[in-house]
Structure 1
Amino acid sequence: MQNGQHAHDVKMAARKVNVFYGEKQALKEIDLDIEANAVTALIGPSGCGKSTFLRSLNRMNDTVRGCRVEGDIKLDTLDIYDTKVDVVQLRARVGMVFQKPNPFPKSIYENVAYGPRIHGLAENKDELDLIVEKSLKQAGLWKEVGDRLAEAGTGLSGGQQQRLCIARALAVSPEVILMDEPCSALDPIATAHIEELIDELRQNYTIVIVTHSMQQAARVSQRTAFFHLGILVESGDTKTIFTNPSDERTQGYITGRFG
């Protein structure tokens, strides 16, 4: 396909990535391409390294004492571990949504306005109002909270809080959104909302999601990477990984023989 944006533009690329916590090696020689405008699901048993890998994509591991990352991770052409990289700017380009919704103890408005303020993305209050509205709309929350922006973000339901955290990530116009089990603290209806939202967001963003739920991975992702004991066992098209994996460890995990 030669039409400009072909199906497999690579947004982020990891090569020979090793991650150590002190002496313990958590990830071994990870090679993975993250495709643009697709959802990539990272699956595998607990403690297999999938969250560690996710956190290496926006240098969240920098905040963990004794953590060391080796290898190469690129965002487009930028080597994100280059010493010259401004981590604050990097995390604006590669946003993160955590397992438990963690809105700031501020108003709904201030939760979303926070990032754009820090990054100087709005010239004035009108522009900031527009960014807040657009981000809440993109996160599917505007209809519910548009008329009560001054209320505390912490007063929302769990599912709404998670969408507020997504709006907060979107407000700084990221290119990539990392989600670390974003639905594990939510009920099935709130989970369905977030899954629909992820599907809409991939039109404009590149998304990487760690999930414990294989059903969720199958529903929301186009690409799947299976991690086991710190190794990337295989990755590829989600349908293929779920119906015809090439490695018996993947087969075993997917059919529930271990995990």
Structure 2
Amino acid sequence: MRDPLVTTPKITARNVSVYYGATRAIDDVSIDVTQDEVVAFIGPSGCGKSTFLRTLNRMNDTVPSARVEGEIYLDGEDIYAPSMDVVQLRARVGMVFQKPNPFPKSIYENVAYGPRIHGLTHAKGELDDIVEGSLRRAGLWDEVKDRLTDSGTALSGGQQQRLCIARAIAVDPEVILMDEPCSALDPIATAKIEELIHELKGRYAIVIVTHNMQQAARVSQRTAFFHLGHLVEFGATSDIFTNPRAERTKDYITGRYG
């Protein structure tokens, strides 16, 4: 298991299991994520990596049959406590999905939506600054600054994904979860998203699910390998890819299955 637990975690998950009805999708997973790193989840399809990712901001709450056991803390605060405001939690822990999903609104309104509903600003000028700053951090400002009133759905796939990232960071989150954010994108758009992840590292704790092992090697500092709902190995990305300890990890990395 190497060094799954760290001294100053942003997110602490302990003995987490997830059930869909009677089916156990995740079995007893413990992971820490720090503020200054990108953590990648890898593993074959259906291994539970996206299911576990969704526990980190309670997206599994939207699945009636889902049940989560164990403990998950954000800065020491139990995110599954009855007193937790789930809307505020999802502002603190943003999610970028596999398929770009901009709102059917203008580019400006896509980014302004979150700050507006969370009451982060009360003046138009402040909101303009948030929109511009978020689009700049998402590497999209120069491409859209003259067409902010155009529909977000009119952008290319890669631009839409960066718009969704701008929308996520507009509410000033602490963590960004990315569920295969490049799987629907071409290589050029993928490279831009990976460059963006590098630029965002340190400002946010970032967790990315990816099927692309080369991508995990490029963007992450630590990697977790999931298989059949179990966390098989978790450690420094360089170690996972060059000197895996578990035989199952080695088999997956070398393409014997997956």
TM over 0.5: yes
Which AA in structure 2 matches 1:27? I
Aligned length: 253
Report the equivalent of 2:229. Answer: 230
Q: Deviations over 1:59-116 (max 9, x none)?
A: 0000001100000000111100001000000000000000000000000000000000
Q: Distance in 2 between matches of 1:142 and 1:73?
A: 35
Aligned to 2:121, what secondary structure does the other structure show? coil
Aligned to 2:120, what secondary structure does the other structure show? coil
Q: Distance in 2 between matches of 1:167 and 1:128?
A: 13
TM-score by length of 2: 0.97
Q: Distance in 1 between matches of 2:61 and 2:255?
A: 34
Report the equivalent of 1:35. Answer: 34
Q: Distance in 2 between matches of 1:102 and 1:249?
A: 35
Shift of 1:177: 0.1
CA contact (8 A) 2:48 2:226 kept: yes
Q: Distance in 1 between matches of 2:155 and 2:202?
A: 27
CA contact (8 A) 2:35 2:202 kept: no
Q: Mapping of 1:152-171 within 5 angstroms?
A: 152-171=151-170
Aligned identity (percent) is: 72
Shift of 1:8: 5.9
Shift of 1:9: 2.9
Q: Distance in 1 between matches of 2:33 and 2:142?
A: 32
Report the equivalent of 2:87. Answer: 88
Q: Distance in 2 between matches of 1:55 and 1:156?
A: 27
Q: Distance in 1 between matches of 2:51 and 2:148?
A: 35
After TM superposition, where is structure 1 displaced by more than 2 Å over at least 4 residues in a row? none
CA contact (8 A) 1:141 1:160 kept: yes
Q: 1:8 to 1:159 in 2, by over 3 A?
A: farther
Q: Mapping of 1:135-174 within 5 angstroms?
A: 135-174=134-173
Q: Distance in 2 between matches of 1:9 and 1:36?
A: 8
Report the equivalent of 1:189. Answer: 188
Report the equivalent of 1:240. Answer: 239
Report the equivalent of 2:46. Answer: 47
Aligned to 1:10, what secondary structure does the other structure show? coil
Q: Deviations over 1:31-62 (max 9, x none)?
A: 11112121000000000000000000000000
CA contact (8 A) 1:8 1:36 kept: no
Shift of 1:203: 2.4
Q: Deviations over 1:123-160 (max 9, x none)?
A: 21000000000000000000000111000000000000
Q: Distance in 2 between matches of 1:8 and 1:132?
A: 35
Aligned-pair Cα RMSD in Å = 0.8
